[in-house]
């Protein structure tokens, strides 16, 4: 029995076609448009600030779609929900390609964000159900890893197509990837845990109320993890610009950091499965906090690269930690709805991080913003230390509730 297989014979290889391949294809498509949404808005006559707002609308769509996604998945199942996401996604992309005005582009990218939320919650809900708990972190870290590989490849794919089709080429890449991912979902063998009626129906409000303590504690930790992750994507380019580095040099530094990031997702998952969730959550956030604290000392391309590698190390180790903590905390009844609320915590961090950095820069300075992110990292470590169980999660363990344990049978 290898590291990819558990004592029951379950193997991560079983998820290769049904989970990881569609997720990779989808991630390539989603990442292909991220560099060009603002450009598309400017081409339609928008200002640079409005162009930046267009990018933010994708994140706003993800936030708006997180809670409804859980209810849709509970009613129709994971695979049907992802196919619905494709049905929403392709017309929205076609509208973005043919958008006559900025408002049409904004509406389209908002729907793209809604579809991304539905796809993400459905994939996590399936993994939480289908994967044995002793392999959960490796499975979810691998899911996070293949998504990062797709995110790394997406801009290169869109760049190649845009040589021939212009800005619209990036959206056509996403259309093709969405249709291919949807086709894979339809043609591959049925997902064993994708069925309706397996648990009693629950209301979203009831699920959130019952689990509000864990959402307010461990969920707050997940929000701060997301803030730290997205900060890396913001502060490295800003500090490089502050140092006067060329766009080419910044791209190389960011690419090196991303390469380190992609190499570490599976080791992080293996450590979590073997030694517990804290064994990755605490060191990864500590490394990101230290890297942010060191960033103001970077005075040139070499030192900035070293800080970027350190950030990539922390970010890569944490690849599946948010999804794993959410799966651990999710109840059997109302799991998808809980994970929708969990996704909302993470998406608030993803969307709020850049806004926090921009606000601090406007009010104070770039070094102040970077050091504030280091403080957020310290707060994340403190929160995760307090509320994440220190022991290894095993079969039959209850969700890690924040507070007194539940009575048996509840």
In percent, how much of the chain has pLDDT > 70?
88
Please name which of 163, 231, 261, 216 lies closest in space to residue 374, comparing C-alpha atoms: 231
Q: Is the pLDDT of residue 80 over 80?
A: yes
pLDDT recorded at residue 197: 44
Beta bridge partner(s), residue 11: 5
Quote the tokens at residue 287: 């490394």
Say which residue, 333 or 289, is predicted with more confidence: 289
How much is the mean pLDDT over the chain? 83
Task: Looking at 99-246, list the stretches that DSSP marks H as alpha helix, in order from N- to C-terminal side.
Answer: 102-130, 136-165, 168-187, 204-210, 212-242
pLDDT recorded at residue 292: 95
Beta bridge partner(s), residue 5: 11
Q: Is the pLDDT of residue 211 over 50?
A: yes
In percent, how much of the chain has pLDDT > 90?
28
Q: Is the pLDDT of residue 225 over 60?
A: yes
Phi, psi at residue 206, to the nearest 5°?
Answer: -70, -40
Find out whether 356 and 372 touch, Cβ atoms under 8 Å. Answer: yes
**How large is the average pLDDT for residues 124-153?**
84
Say which residue, 325 or 407, is predicted with more confidence: 325
pTM for the full model? Answer: 0.80
Hey, which of 57-61, 85-89, 245-249, 258-262 has the most confident mean pLDDT? 85-89
DSSP secondary structure letter of residue 19: I
Q: Is the pLDDT of residue 52 over 80?
A: no
Domain with CATH 1.20.1250.20 in the chain: 11-198, 201-395
Find out whether 96 and 108 touch, Cβ atoms under 8 Å. Answer: yes
Question: How far apart, in whole angstroms, are the C-alpha atoms of residue 191 and residue 211?
Answer: 28
Say which residue, 124 or 12, is predicted with more confidence: 124
pLDDT recorded at residue 196: 47
Q: Is the pLDDT of residue 350 over 60?
A: yes
Instruction: Give pLDDT tens digits for 169-195.
Output: 989 999 999 999 989 888 876 555 544
Domain 11-198 sits in CATH 1.20.1250.20 = yes
Find out whether 340 and 69 touch, Cβ atoms under 8 Å. Answer: yes
pLDDT band for position 131 (cuts 50, 70, 90):
confident
CA 136 to chain centre: 17
pLDDT recorded at residue 377: 94
How many Cβ atoms are within 10 Å of 9's Cβ, its own excluded? 9
Say which residue, 78 or 202, is predicted with more confidence: 78
pLDDT recorded at residue 306: 94
Q: Is the pLDDT of residue 12 over 50?
A: yes
Question: How far apart, in whole angstroms, are the C-alpha atoms of residue 230 and residue 241?
Answer: 18
pLDDT band for position 358 (cuts 50, 70, 90):
confident
Hey, which of 28-32, 204-208, 250-254 has the most confident mean pLDDT? 28-32
Q: Is the pLDDT of residue 401 over 50?
A: no
Quote the tokens at residue 173: 């890449």
pLDDT recorded at residue 394: 53
Instruction: Give pLDDT tens digits for 27-40.
Output: 999 988 887 887 88
Cα angle at 381 between 294 and 215, to 5 degrees?
135
By mean pLDDT, which of 22-31, 228-237, 246-255 is the weakest? 246-255
pLDDT band for position 276 (cuts 50, 70, 90):
confident
pLDDT recorded at residue 410: 35
Please name which of 353, 410, 139, 65 lies closest in space to residue 229, comparing C-alpha atoms: 353
**64-86 burial by CB neighbour count: b if 16+ within 10 A, else e?**
bbbbbbbbbbbebbbbbbbbbbb
pLDDT recorded at residue 224: 94
- CA dist 192 → 43, 73, 85, 132, 156 (Å): 46, 15, 20, 13, 35
Say which residue, 294 or 352, is predicted with more confidence: 294
pLDDT recorded at residue 260: 84
Q: What is the DSSP string of 264-323?
A: SHHHHHHHHHHH-THHHHHHHHHHHHHHHHHGGG--SHHHHHHHHHHHHHHHHHTTTHHH
**How large is the average pLDDT for residues 222-251?**
83
pLDDT recorded at residue 296: 93
Please name which of 117, 322, 317 lies closest in space to residue 222, comparing C-alpha atoms: 322
pLDDT recorded at residue 151: 79
* CB within 8 Å of 55: residues ≥ 6 apart: 34, 37, 38, 109
Q: Is the pLDDT of residue 407 over 50?
A: no
pLDDT band for position 222 (cuts 50, 70, 90):
very high
Say which residue, 92 or 3, is predicted with more confidence: 92
CA 251 to chain centre: 22
Q: What is the architecture of the domain spanning 201-395?
A: Up-down Bundle (1.20)
Task: State the residue for tokens 């709805």.
Answer: 337
* CB within 8 Å of 86: residues ≥ 6 apart: 115, 178, 179, 181, 182, 185
Say which residue, 145 or 180, is predicted with more confidence: 180
Find out whether 222 and 342 touch, Cβ atoms under 8 Å. Answer: yes
């Amino acid at each position: 029995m290898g590291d990819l297989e558990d004592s029951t014979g379950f193997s991560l290889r079983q998820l290769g076609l049904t989970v990881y391949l569609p997720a990779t294809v989808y991630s390539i498509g989603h990442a292909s448009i991220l560099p060009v949404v603002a450009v598309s808005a400017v081409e339609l006559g928008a200002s640079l600030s409005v162009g930046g707002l267009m990018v933010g609308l994708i994140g706003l769509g993800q936030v708006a779609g997180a809670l409804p996604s859980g209810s849709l998945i509970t009613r129709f199942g994971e695979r049907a929900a992802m196919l619905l996401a494709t049905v929403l996604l392709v017309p929205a992309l076609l509208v973005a390609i043919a958008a006559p005005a900025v408002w049409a582009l904004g509406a389209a990218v908002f729907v793209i964000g809604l579809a991304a939320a539905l796809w993400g919650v459905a994939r996590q809900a399936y993994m939480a159900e289908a994967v044995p708990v002793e392999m959960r972190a490796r499975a979810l870290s691998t899911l996070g890893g293949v998504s990062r590989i797709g995110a790394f490849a997406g801009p290169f794919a869109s760049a190649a197509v845009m040589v021939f089709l212009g800005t619209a080429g990036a959206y056509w890449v996403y259309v093709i990837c969405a249709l291919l991912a949807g086709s894979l979902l339809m043609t591959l063998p049925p997902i064993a845990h994708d069925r309706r009626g397996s648990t009693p129906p629950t209301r979203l409000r009831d699920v959130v109320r019952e689990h509000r303590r864990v959402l307010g504690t461990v969920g707050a930790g997940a929000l701060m993890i997301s803030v730290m992750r997205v900060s890396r994507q913001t502060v490295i380019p800003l500090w490089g610009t502050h140092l006067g580095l060329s766009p080419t040099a910044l791209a190389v530094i960011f690419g090196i950091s991303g390469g380190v990031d992609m190499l570490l997702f599976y080791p992080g998952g293996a450590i979590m499965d073997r030694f517990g969730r804290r064994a990755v959550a605490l060191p990864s956030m500590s490394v990101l906090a230290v890297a942010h604290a060191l960033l103001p000392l970077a005075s040139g391309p070499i030192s900035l690269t070293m800080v970027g590698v350190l950030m990539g190390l922390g970010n890569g180790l944490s690849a599946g930690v948010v999804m794993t903590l959410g799966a651990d905390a999710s109840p059997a009844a109302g799991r998808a709805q809980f994970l929708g609320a969990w996704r909302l915590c993470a998406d608030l961090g993803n969307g709020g991080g850049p806004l926090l950095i921009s606000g601090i820069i406007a009010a104070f300075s770039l070094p102040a913003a970077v050091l504030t992110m280091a403080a957020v990292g310290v707060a994340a470590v403190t929160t995760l230390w307090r509320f994440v169980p220190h022991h290894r999660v095993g079969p039959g363990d209850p969700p890690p509730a924040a507070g007194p344990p539940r009575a048996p049978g509840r």
